[in-house]
Every structure is written in C-alpha cells, then in structure tokens.
C-alpha cells in the first residue's frame, strides 16, 4: 500500500524528537507513519488554511508536531514538519501556529529561489 503523502522533518522537528525518551519518540513516529495511510483527525488535524499538526497522546501528555503541505513540485505530495511542542493545555498556542506559518513561508521562498 502506497502512503498518501511523504514526510520531511525540518531540523527543529528533529531536535524536538531527539530530546524525547525512546518510547515517546517511537509512539510519535508510529502515529506519523499511521497518518500517512489513514485519515484520522486524532492523528493529523488541520489548524488553519496552511498549518496542520501531527497529534500524539502518550502517557497523559499531548505532543504536537506542526506541519504544512508542499505540493509545489507537482509530483509527490510532501508534508513538512516544522517543529514540535508538548501541549500544556487544551488550546494550541497561537504563537506556535504563527511560528509554523513563518517557517512555511521561509521554506517555500527558499525552494522557489533555488529552482
């Protein structure tokens, strides 16, 4: 079975995951992989027009990896994970969404310049 999209982790997302213990990191990777094959808002949810989040609830903690879609090549659909957080309350912090939007803009601008 072919995944619905490929995933690229930007350095800040990798750093976030590297700081977690092995079991937590494994659970997040498992959920990311699963989200490539099933459409489930508990795993991958749209936050606004451009930003999505990979969602993992593990040991009573809510982990989020912010991401966006990159369809600029017209070939494979790519989801780019920008950074991650451990959520402290119900509401996703607006500053984290804004940060993901800024990273998205930089990523797409850089990609357009280097074509």
Parallel, antiparallel or unpaired: strands 44-46 and 6-9: unpaired
Q: Which of 63, 35, 69, 74 is nearest to 49 (CA)?
A: 69
pTM, entire model = 0.91
pLDDT given at position 89? 80
pLDDT given at position 52? 96
The ranges assigned to domains in the chain are: 6-113
Residue/partner pairs of 18-24 with CB below 8 Å, 24 or more apart: 20/63, 23/58, 24/58, 24/59, 24/61, 24/63
Q: Exposure of 114 by Cβ count < 10 A (0-12 exposed, 13-18 middle, 19+ buried)?
A: exposed
Tokens of 92: 């996703």
Task: For residue range 35-91, list pLDDT tens digits in order.
Answer: 999 999 999 999 999 999 999 999 999 999 999 999 877 666 789 999 999 998 888
pLDDT given at position 114? 82
For the domain made up of 6-113, give the CATH fold.
YaeB-like fold (3.30.2310)
Q: Which of 77, 79, 65, 68 is nearest to 101 (CA)?
A: 68
């Amino acid at each position: 079975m072919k995944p619905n999209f490929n995933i690229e982790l930007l350095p800040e997302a990798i750093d976030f995951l590297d700081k977690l213990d092995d079991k937590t990191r494994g659970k997040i990777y498992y959920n990311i992989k699963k989200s490539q094959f099933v459409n489930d808002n508990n795993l991958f949810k749209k936050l606004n027009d451009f930003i999505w989040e990979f969602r993992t609830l593990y040991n009573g903690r809510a982990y989020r990896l912010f991401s966006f879609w990159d369809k600029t090549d017209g070939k494979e659909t790519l989801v780019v994970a920008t950074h991650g957080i451990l959520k402290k309350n119900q509401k996703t912090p607006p500053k984290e969404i804004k940060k993901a939007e800024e990273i998205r803009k930089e990523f797409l601008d850089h990609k357009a310049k280097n074509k």
